[in-house]
Amino acid sequence: MQRTLLLAKIHNCTLTGANINYVGSISIDQVLLDKAGILPYEQVQVVNNANGKRFITYAIPADANSGIIELNGAAARLGIMGDRLIIMAYGQFTSEELKNYSPTVVIVDEKNRLLEVRYYDDLLTKV
């Protein structure tokens, strides 16, 4: 049996733009994708903290160290510049894989610059 669990998230990033005329997806700074382990074209769930909207799309890389987090296509209607987002990727795991598993959490500042990479098990012990 496999279970679907959180694989990684980019926590509390800032939406830098919205492009309704793009084909679709969410553009994410390549550095943040790499640190989270999210691949180009991988499915992600996006949560907009400002308006409560949740939606699924796919990630595409933006220039490294650009700080870009941009909603594209129809998703561009689900946020405005300055909104704070959580971007999450999920994975399917076997019971064996879960024995040494902890989701990756990428923490950024208000300009989407990498502050640190943590693991959920570490974060939960500090709550």
- Active-site positions? 25, 58
In the chain, which ranges are continuous DSSP H helix? Answer: 30-36, 120-124
Classify 34 as helix, strand or coil: helix
8 Å CB contact between 29 and 62 = yes
Q: The tokens of 37 are what? A: 């382990």
Q: In terms of C-beta density within 10 A (0-12 exposed, 13-18 middle, 19 or more buried), how is residue 69 classed? A: buried
Sheet of 17-19, strand order: 17-19, 69-72, 25-29, 54-62, 43-48, 84-94, 2-14, 104-108, 114-119
